[in-house]
Structure 1
Amino acid sequence: MEIFLSALLGDLASRSINLLISTRSRPTALDVGDSLQSAILRAQVIVDEATGRHITNQAMLQQLDMLRDAMHQACYVLDTFGIRIFGTK
């Protein structure tokens, strides 16, 4: 009986600690927005540098177009996200 009670209390304690850690470490909406904004800026730098070079490889050009499209979609998400949080852009 002692072993069962000890195991039960240990399990409850570990679950309680995991719950506290998970609720404290959850990123806020502003943190996610800042992270997305910095990723967009990094992608913009990559696109600008690649556009300045004369790339002739079709596969690389296709990847550049995919990155550009993803960047535009992320900008749209960030704008929509900002409107929902702050009410204005």
Structure 2
Amino acid sequence: MREYVFGTGLIGAATSGMTLLRSLRAQEPFTWRTVLAWVSWGITVALVVGAVIDTRDAKRGRIVSGDSPVSGREQKLLKKRLRR
């Protein structure tokens, strides 16, 4: 569980989300740039969650899709998990 919680993608998404929340409290006008920042943050969070799910599935021996960052390393991750 540690490797998921302390992953750089999740930490980056959390800090950028906090920055966006602070900008809402600062009474700044809500412009198209703010909308793009929120959309970008949502995409980042979705990619991080997808990578975590794919890594967990690969470690359990399941096949992941070809566009996953862990595609092709399923056997290596499964062997590493089984050694523990």
TM-score, structure 2 normalization:
0.44
Structure number with higher helix proportion:
1
Highest RCO, 1 vs 2 (Cα 8 Å, sep ≥ 6): 1
TM-score, structure 1 normalization:
0.42
